[in-house]
Amino acid sequence: MAAARSQIGVTVRYDGAYQRLAYPGGDVPLDRGVCTDVVVRAYRVLGVDLQVLVHQDMARHRAAYPNLWGVRGTDRSIDHRRVPNLAVFFTRHGHRLTVSRDPKAYRPGDLVTWMLPGNLPHIGIVSEARSPGGVPLILHNLGRGTQEEDLLFRYPITGHFRYPVEQP
């Protein structure tokens, strides 16, 4: 959460343009990105390179991943930046949890996916901070750069994941 929160005020633009990225450790410029970049950057601070992990898993188990983009193979520059791919990866290598309307079911550091209007998938990280009503806030980028907002129950939740990592 601290790694995601550190992006607030730094990642200030929403920019989903395709860019060829270095591999491993590739990233778009820190001032921009999409929702998945918040997650990828936060995990990278913890020593987890989702670019590498998702690419390797997709290369070995391509059929397990959605083919929503009409591509034949993998692409190390974009595959880890797609919400449906992250959802498959976290299901395969983390813990897929029950989607609940109970705010207590969501722990700090959990990952949540939603379907936004227009069938746009979204992902964010559950914060330890809570709204006045007791609902966990979400660290994410929905269009104004990285933010911490009361978003958990605003849109239909499509997934709830826990991917434990060792703190450095």
Q: What is the per-residue DSSP string for 23-81? A: TTT----TTEE-HHHHHHHHHHHTT--HHHHHHHHHHH-GGGS---S--SS--TTTGGG
Q: How far is CA 152 from the centre of its chain?
A: 14
Closest CA to 14 of 81, 66, 68, 109: 81
CATH 3.90.1720.10 fits 1-168, yes or no: yes
Closest CA to 54 of 32, 21, 29: 21
Percent of the chain whose predicted confidence (pLDDT) is above 70: 98
Query: Residue 39: which pLDDT band, with cuts at 50, 70 and 90?
Result: very high
What mean pLDDT is reported for the chain?
A: 96
Output 132 or 166, whichever has higher pLDDT: 132
Query: Residue 69: which pLDDT band, with cuts at 50, 70 and 90?
Result: confident
Residue range 93-143, pLDDT digits in tens: 999 999 999 999 999 999 999 999 999 999 999 999 999 999 999 999 999
Check residue 70 and give its pLDDT: 82
Residue 168, pLDDT > 60, answer: no
Residue 90, pLDDT > 60, answer: yes
Q: Kindly report the length of the chain.
A: 168
Residue 167, pLDDT > 70, answer: no
Model's pTM, two decimal places? Answer: 0.96
Where are the chain's structural domains?
1-168
